[in-house]
Structure 1
Amino acid sequence: MFIRIVKMSFHEENIPAFLENFDIMKSKIRNAPGNRFLELYQDKNDKCIFFTYSYWETEDDLENYRKSELFYDVWTFTKKLFNAKPEAWSVDKLVSLK
């Protein structure tokens, strides 16, 4: 299992549209094959910056999602709202304290 972090920055006037669409799509994304966890964060200092944080079973699961009609629909809508190029990282969890 690995973690995918995506940073997205939006024009301020597009934030409500992004949040509305995310609310509609979040369960579909979370239930994509291989997805085990999904959260959305908003930066405390810059309300235009958001992060998704998701757990994926395998890299193939993430790639299959990225090739899916669901991703196409989500990304086609979302990318029109950006004010900067999105950034993404795939990371392995090394330590977790509870």
Structure 2
Amino acid sequence: MFVRIVKMTFQEEKIEEFLSRFEKNRNKIRNSEGCRFLELYRDKKNPNIFFTYSYWESELYLEQYRNSDLFKSVWANVKPLFDAKPEAWSVDKVYSSEPIFV
């Protein structure tokens, strides 16, 4: 299993449109074969920057998703909303601890 991190910077006036599109598609993405986890984060200092964190069973499943009609449709609709080129990393988790909620 590995983690995929994608950083996306949006035009300020397009943020609500992105959030609406994410809400519409998040369960479909999460239920893609091999996807085990999906979260969306927003930068605290720059609200135009978002990150997706997703866990994939293998790179094969991520590539299957990236070649799917779902990804092509989602990406085609989100790409015009960007204010900067997105960045992506595939990483292996080295350490994890249980969250502590107070």
Q: Map Cα deviations across residues 12-62 of structure 1 (whole Å, 9 max, x no partner).
A: 000000000000000000000000000000000000000000000000000
Gaps of 5+ in 1: none
Corresponding residue number in structure 2 for 1:37: 37
CA apart distance, 1:97: 1.5
CA RMSD, Structure 1 to Structure 2 (Å) = 0.4
Paired position in structure 2 for 1:27: 27
Q: Which amino acid aligns with 1:80?
A: P
- Counterpart mapping for 1:10-89 below 5 A: 10-89=10-89
Q: How many residue pairs end up in the alignment?
A: 98
Equivalent AA in structure 2 for residue 97 of structure 1: S
CA distance in 1, matches of 2:38, 2:81: 21
How far apart, in 2, do the equivalents of 1:85 and 1:46 lie? Answer: 16
- Relative to the length of structure 2, the TM-score reads 0.95
SS of 2:81's partner is: coil
Match of 1:96 in 2: 96
Q: Give the gaps of 5 or more residues in structure 2.
A: none
Distance 2:96 2:17 in 1: 34
Identity of aligned residues (%): 61
Report the Cα offset of residue 69 of structure 1. 0.1
3-state SS in 2 of match to 1:17: helix
Q: Which runs of 4 or more aligned residues in structure 1 lie more than 2 Å from their structure 2 counterparts after TM superposition?
A: none
